[in-house]
Each structure stands twice: as structure tokens, then as C-alpha cells.
């Protein structure tokens, strides 16, 4: 099972040096040595995201959804007016969370639009908060964070961005994009095992903190303990050690270089499959992922199954009404052209077309 | 940091074969192969805990505290009357959670009493639920789950047990002890990295489920997805693979044998240090851990620091008013007499006493 070729948007392919850390004894963590690790993780995340001065990072042992829910619970007052950009499964998840926690919100449904032109948002300029999934991973659409950030700044709106599926592969700059709170996760572009999610809070976001409504997801206690590099509860220590190493690598390489590499691989893949009966599904794809729709009568779900059964390759199926219409190919993680060629060659073989290199 | 000798109650020493799994690629998990892994984990946990027929296991990507909070949110009605056995830091945590979620409760403070005699509970026999930490890890006291289970059964009380720090090292039998809901965690007796917590629900507990109050910790959705071996959100896949292997080992060895081995090591340690100026702190210690108090003028916190600095050994300090009074030595995890000897020899050297073997 661990020997399959994976092109899924989490888990993603992990590099050998990061994997090796997973085989080390879990160290005791309530001491200065481990605090130093956590504080360095915070510093490097703030650097990579270009967070405003005095921003902070919270480390949660939980999936990305938990970080989404915790953010809604901690940053939204019940009578705030929040606009939720709902372009697919993850936008809908934000809507569900707002409903469950009785947060006043507008469910803004949208499709095939990256909001580079923010005119559709104009009638909501009196909202207090905006919630958006930078990369709506269910269909592979990347919103224009630059335009949306300008709209938020102009109208004094708290801009809360789930960047889980585009961090490290696509441009993300908290100051340039006027982002107030940012949600991240370990198992996507960071290419670590799943289990840790992170929230970056700017000083502005910190002023919006609500009364405690959960012990495990109380931002105040994470902020307080984080000052000395600790978490209120036992963290996924091993994944934090892997995060520490990975962040050091990214800072050393430069995140721009990482993004460029993801872009090259995405473009390489998209160009290579042009002769095949597969069409790009979205005009607004991130470097992180390519969403494809069959150009012939084949069902997307059949292609997904066949790639697994015949070629030992895992691409990502969709559910519901998109099941037969699209499938998704992730370029996140320790991806190379050589690894991508395994999928490209399999697709050529599958369609019985000879690949010209 | 990962080369220190650790005698902490989480993280604990992990065996080499389990660690090796940590270095494998994280596989895709939304498929039948991974579902099979999760379903086998469930079956083996139900077997090891001797859960009643039709019990279920929920797998959360989170620390044990999250499982404690989720259990309170999902199983306690606001107007239930819950007795919280508060014998230390973890009992207090249950009290804090009940307070935060406005659950009607009694804070039953207790010390140096394992409740083998349940007379002190008699005046509360009209309560609806009981919350207890089987091993109050902050001081190393093991409650008498057998007596408490009888009290609960006789009075028709929902018996909710946090067994995080005694599972696998001390006897735990859900049917014998009349336990309705059981909270477990990966990084204690199971000797895995931290990141996964589990809740075992009996059919009786399942009838008590409350209306959804959290998306991430909604028992109903975990129960529904768990039927096909899946979780509602991305799990800590690698730790689940390690759990799968570890549970297979325990079932093969027999949990009684694992408990016997923990007991032997705890007794070996306690006997070996008798000549030293260290006294056992509690009469009711589990096999999982030994709590010690200096019999001379040394401060416990000094001993903890010295063991780290001089011998590279991590034992567990206490905070607050117990800081100078006690320290704790865990026997959980992949422990052997040889590994325990490292600590024993260090203590003899520290006190400049010659050890007679």
C-alpha cells in the first residue's frame, strides 16, 4: 500500500530525509530543547508567509478541518456578518461550520470564477469577515488572493484564508494579500504526514479573539503557551520535528524557488498530456493540482480505478455528481518530472497513444 | 534530543519495528485497503478491551484532551448530573471541560484513596454519569475500576473512563468493570507517537449521543464513516498504520502477558531502589508508573534536572506545589529490565551508593 505512486492532494509524496525523521524515537517535549524547535518553526512560517510584524503561529494536533472550525469559533463574533466564498466542497464546509456555531453568515455560491474581478462581492462590502479556501481543492480552482485582499482592505473586512492546498506551491504573501488569519496543514505542499494544522494570526486578528468556547481549540491558551515554544496539550511531536526540518529546507531553498518548481512540474504535466483525450477542467488552476475531465466517453471514475489497478498509480476521484466527470492530479510534495513521467507514460499507455518526448 | 533515555508517561520508548513504519511513505487512505486497516484496528481494540458486543471505536486525530472534551460534548446532556472524580490535574481537566460546556456536574475532590471502598460515593448515587481518569497520571494513582464499575452498575450510572495512562500496562476489561465509554491515546501504553486518540463506545453509550455541537468532534459522523473503515477528516495516517501493527502484536502476545511484563518491570524498579533515599509517593500505584518523593533534603526538581544533565535520562517533573516534592518514572512503552537498569544505575551513582545485584 505504501509502494503505490501517489498524485493525491494529501497525503503527498514525502522526501526520504523527512521520512527518516519519522523513524526516530519520539523525544520528551516539555523542555527547552523542544521549545526551541517549536519557536524556530514559528519564525520560519512567519518568514515564508511574509506575515506582518508580531504575527503568531498556533500549532494544532488535528486535521485541517479542525483548524477551520477552531478559526470560526475563535475569530467570529456571533453577530458579525461573514461572507463565505463557497465554490465547492471546502467552501461548503466553512458554511456548515458557521451554521453549526450559529455565526451570522452569507453563503456566497460561485463557480468558474476566481474573483480577480471582485465586482460580484461589491454588494457585500458591509460584511465584517470573509472566509475563503484559497485553492478550492474539490475542483482545483485558485482564487485571486491579490484582488480579494484589496477588496477586504478597502472595506475593512477581516480576511481569513484557508491556504491548506496551495501553501508552498502557489504564491502566498500575507502582507501583499492583506490576509489577517491563515490556515495551513502538514500533509499538502509541506509534504509531511497528516496530523498537524497551523493557524497564523496577525495582530489585527488577535484583537478579534472571542470568549473561550472549547478547551482543545482555545486560541488564547495556544498563544500563551506558544510564547515559550510549548502547546497546551501533547502535540504530534514527530510531525513537528519533520516540520522543523522541512521549514529549514524551504527557507534555505527560498519559497519562490519551491513555487517555481511546482509551476514547472504542473506545466510540464499539462503540456505532456495535450495529445490525450483529457481536457483541463478549470481555467484557474493552481500549480498544486490539475483537474481533468475526459474528452471522450470514458468515465472519470473508470480512469481512476484503472490507473490504480493496472499501473499502481493513485490519482484523486471526486464524489457525488462530479464522480464520472472529473479526476484530480496533485503536483504537491516531493514531486519531480521523473515521478510525474510515471503517470504521463501510464496515461499514454492507457490510451494506446505513442508519447513523443 | 531523540537519543535521551526516556521514562516519561508519553512519549514513551517505541520499539524499532514500529518506528520503522514511521519512515514509510504515507499512503492514500480513501480506499478499501486503508479501510481494512482501520476496521482491523477497531476489531483488535474491542478484543483487547473486552468491549461488549456491538461496541464501536472512534479514531480522532488529536491528543487525549480532545477525546476527553469530545466525550463530554457528545455524551453528557446539559441537565444530566455528572460526578467528576477529581484526584489531580487530569480530574481537574474534566471539571474544567464540564464547566466550559455548561454541563451540570459535581467536582468530587479526593486524595490518597483508590475508591476500592465506594462508600464516599454513596451520597451521589442519584447521578447520571461518572467521569474518571483510571490512572490519575499527575500523581500516579490507579483507581479501583472494579469497585467503581459495580457502583455505577448498581445505580444505573453511565461510567465514562479515561484509560489513557493505564491501557496495556494495567488490567482493563470493559465488561468486567462495567465501562460504558472508554478514552484511549496513542502515546502511552500503546507506545506509538502522539497524535491519535480513540474512544470506545458501548451500545449503551451510543444511546446517549447528544445533538451535534462540533464538526470535528461529532461522534455521529465518526460512527457513520467508521462503518466502512473511514474517518470524516484526514487522519494521522502514519500513526494509524503503526497502531495497526502494534495492536496485532498485542493480540498475538496476549494483553495479559503485556500487563504482566509491565508489572514485573514496575516491581523490579521499585525493589531495586529500596536502598536509596527515595520513597514511594502513593499506595495505589499502577504498573504504568512509579511516583517518588525524596526521603532526604533533596528537591525532586533538582533530581529531575540532574538526571537529565548528568545522565541523559528524562524522568517526569511535576509543576506547582508538587514541584519539589515528587517526580515520576514511567514504565510504559517498549520497556525492558535492561533499559530500566540505566535509570537504576544512574540513581545509585547519583546517591553514591553501591548497587547490589
Closest to B215 (Cβ–Cβ): which among A22, A96, A232? A96
ipTM: 0.95
**Per-residue pLDDT tens over the stretch A276-318:** 999 999 999 999 999 999 999 999 999 999 999 999 999 999 9
Identify all chain A residues contacting B314, using CB atoms and an 8 Å cutoff.
Answer: 28, 31
Whether A300 contacts A327, CB under 8 Å: yes
* Residue B182 DSSP label: E
User: Choosing among B3, B71, B98, B193, which should be mutated to test the A contact, i.e. which has the most A CBs within 10 A?
Assistant: B193
Q: What is the structure's pLDDT at A310?
A: 97
How many other C-beta atoms lie within 10 A of the C-beta of residue B123? 9
Instruction: State yes or no: pLDDT of A348 exceeds 90.
Output: yes
CA-based nearest residue in chain A for residue B317: A30
Contacting residues of B for A25, CB less than 8 Å apart: 2-3, 6, 11, 13-14, 19
Are the beta carbons of A82 and A98 closer than 8 angstroms? yes
Q: Which residues of A207-240 are buried (b: 16+ CB within 10 A; e: fewer)?
A: ebebeeebbbbbbebbeebbeebbbbbbbbbbbb
Which chain A residue shows the shortest CA-CA distance from B60? A62
DSSP code per residue over A55-68: -EEEEEES-HHHHH
Distances (CA, A) of A278 to A61, A308, B146, B271: 39, 18, 64, 72
End-to-end alpha carbon distance in chain A? 31
First and final CA of chain B: distance in angstroms?
Answer: 31
Which chain B residue's Cα is nearest to A17?
B23
Pairing of strands B316-317, B196-201: unpaired
CB contact under 8 A, B20 and A23: yes
Which pairs with CB-CB distance under 8 Å and at least 24 residues apart come from A219-223?
A219/A58, A219/A70, A219/A74, A219/A75, A222/A58, A222/A59, A222/A60, A223/A56, A223/A58
Q: Per the CB < 8 Å rule, is A63 touching B63?
A: no
Of A10, A28, A62, the CB nearest to B11: A28
B254-311 pLDDT, tens per residue? 999 999 999 999 999 999 999 999 999 999 999 999 999 999 999 999 999 999 999 9
Task: State the pLDDT confidence band at B10, using cuts at 50, 70 and 90.
Answer: confident
Instruction: DSSP letter for A356, please.
Output: P
List, for residues A244-270, the tens digit of each pLDDT value. 999 999 999 999 999 999 999 999 999
**pLDDT (tens digit, 9 = 90+) per residue, B314-349?**
999 999 999 999 999 999 999 999 999 999 999 999
Predicted confidence at residue B4, as pLDDT, reads: 92
Contact A274, A295 (CB under 8 A): no
| pLDDT single digits (tens) A214-246 | 999 999 999 999 999 999 999 999 999 999 999
DSSP string computed for A170-181 = S---TTTTT-SE
In terms of CA atoms, which chain B residue is nearest residue A304? B31
Q: How far is B33 from chain A (nearest CA, A)?
A: 7
Q: Distance, in angstroms, between B24 CA and closest chain A CA?
A: 7
Distance CA A302, CA A350 (A): 12
Query: d(Cα A216, Cα B65) in Å, to the nearest integer?
Result: 7
CA distance A25 to chain B (A): 6
Question: Residue B217 carries which DSSP code?
Answer: T
Task: Give the tens place of pLDDT for each residue, A174-202.
Answer: 999 999 999 999 999 999 999 999 999 99
Q: Do A193 and B238 touch (CB under 8 A)?
A: yes
What percent of chain B is predicted at pLDDT more than 90? 98
In the structure, how many helices (H) and strands (E) does chain A have? 11, 15
Closest CA to B221 of B69, B108, B58, B88: B58
Residues in chain A within 8 Å Cβ distance of B64 = 233-234
Say whether B310 sits in a helix, a strand or coil: helix
Predicted local confidence at residue A158, as pLDDT: 98
Chain A partners within 8 Å of B193 (Cβ): 26, 236-239
pLDDT tens-digit series, residues A109-162: 999 999 999 999 999 999 999 999 999 999 999 999 999 999 999 999 999 999
Which letter does DSSP use for residue B189 in this model? T
Evaluate if residue B357 carries a pLDDT over 90: no
Q: Which of A192, A191, A161 is nearest to A176 (CA)?
A: A161
Half-sphere exposure of residue A41: CA atoms within 13 angstroms, side-chain side: 33
User: Which positions in chain A touch B66 (Cβ < 8 Å)?
Assistant: 61-62, 216, 233
Across the interface, whether the CB atoms of A13 and B25 are under 8 A apart is answered yes
Please provide the average confidence, as pLDDT, over all residues in chain B: 97
Cβ A95 vs Cβ A83: under 8 Å: no
CA distance B218 to A223: 26
Closest residue, chain A, to B191 (C-alpha): A26
CA dihedral A74, A79, A81, A84 (to 10 degrees): 50
Q: Starting at the earlier edge strand, list the strands of the sheet with A56-61.
A: A56-61, A196-201, A181-185, A158-162, A129-133, A82-86, A105-109
- Quick one: pLDDT at residue A3? 83
pLDDT, tens digit, 9 for 90 and up, residues B96-144: 999 999 999 999 999 999 999 999 999 999 999 999 999 999 999 999 9
The pLDDT confidence band at residue A208, using thresholds 50, 70 and 90, is very high
Give the number of other Cβ atoms within 10 Å of residue A26's Cβ. 26
Residue B60: what pLDDT?
98
Give the model's pLDDT for residue B39.
98
Question: CA A273, CA A275: separation in Å to the nearest integer?
Answer: 6
Amino acid at each position: 500500500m505504501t509502494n503505490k505512486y501517489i498524485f493525491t492532494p494529501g497525503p503527498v509524496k514525502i522526501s526520504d530525509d523527512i521520512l527518516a525523521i519519522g523513524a526516530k524515537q519520539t523525544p520528551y517535549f516539555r523542555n527547552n530543547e523542544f521549545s526551541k524547535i517549536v519557536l524556530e518553526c514559528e519564525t520560519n512560517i512567519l518568514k515564508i508567509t511574509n506575515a506582518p510584524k508580531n504575527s503568531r503561529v498556533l500549532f494544532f494536533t488535528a486535521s485541517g478541518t479542525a483548524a477551520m472550525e477552531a478559526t470560526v469559533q475563535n475569530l467570529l463574533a456571533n453577530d458579525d456578518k461573514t461572507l463565505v466564498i463557497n465554490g465547492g466542497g471546502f467552501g461548503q464546509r466553512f458554511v456548515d461550520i458557521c451554521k453549526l456555531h450559529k455565526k451570522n453568515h452569507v453563503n456566497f455560491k460561485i463557480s468558474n470564477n476566481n474573483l480577480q474581478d471582485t465586482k460580484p462581492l461589491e454588494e457585500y462590502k458591509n460584511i465584517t469577515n470573509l472566509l475563503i479556501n484559497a485553492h478550492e481543492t474539490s475542483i482545483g480552482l485558485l482564487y485571486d488572493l491579490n484582488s480579494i485582499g484589496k477588496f477586504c482592505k478597502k472595506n475593512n473586512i477581516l480576511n481569513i484564508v484557508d491556504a491548506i492546498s496551495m501553501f508552498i506551491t502557489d504564491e502566498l504573501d500575507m502582507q501583499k494579500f492583506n490576509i489577517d488569519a491563515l490556515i495551513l496543514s502538514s500533509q499538502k505542499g509541506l509534504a509531511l504526514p497528516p496530523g498537524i494544522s497551523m493557524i497564523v494570526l496577525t495582530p489585527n486578528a488577535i484583537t478579534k479573539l472571542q470568549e473561550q468556547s472549547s478547551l482543545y481549540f482555545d486560541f488564547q491558551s495556544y498563544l500563551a503557551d506558544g510564547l515559550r515554544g510549548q502547546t497546551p496539550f501533547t502535540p504530534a511531536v514527530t510531525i513537528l520535528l519533520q516540520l522543523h526540518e522541512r521549514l529549514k529546507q524551504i527557507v534555505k531553498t527560498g519559497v519562490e524557488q519551491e513555487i517555481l518548481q511546482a509551476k514547472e512540474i504542473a506545466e510540464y504535466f499539462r503540456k505532456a498530456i495535450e495529445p490525450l483525450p483529457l481536457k483541463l477542467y478549470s481555467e484557474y488552476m493552481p500549480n498544486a493540482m490539475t483537474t481533468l475531465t475526459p474528452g471522450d466517453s470514458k468515465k472519470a471514475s473508470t480512469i481512476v480505478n484503472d490507473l490504480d489497478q493496472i499501473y499502481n498509480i493513485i490519482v484523486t476521484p471526486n464524489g457525488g455528481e462530479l464522480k464520472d466527470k472529473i479526476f484530480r492530479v496533485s503536483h504537491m510534495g516531493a514531486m519531480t518530472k521523473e515521478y510525474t513521467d510515471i503517470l504521463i507514460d501510464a496515461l499514454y499507455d492507457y490510451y494506446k497513444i505513442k508519447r513523443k518526448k
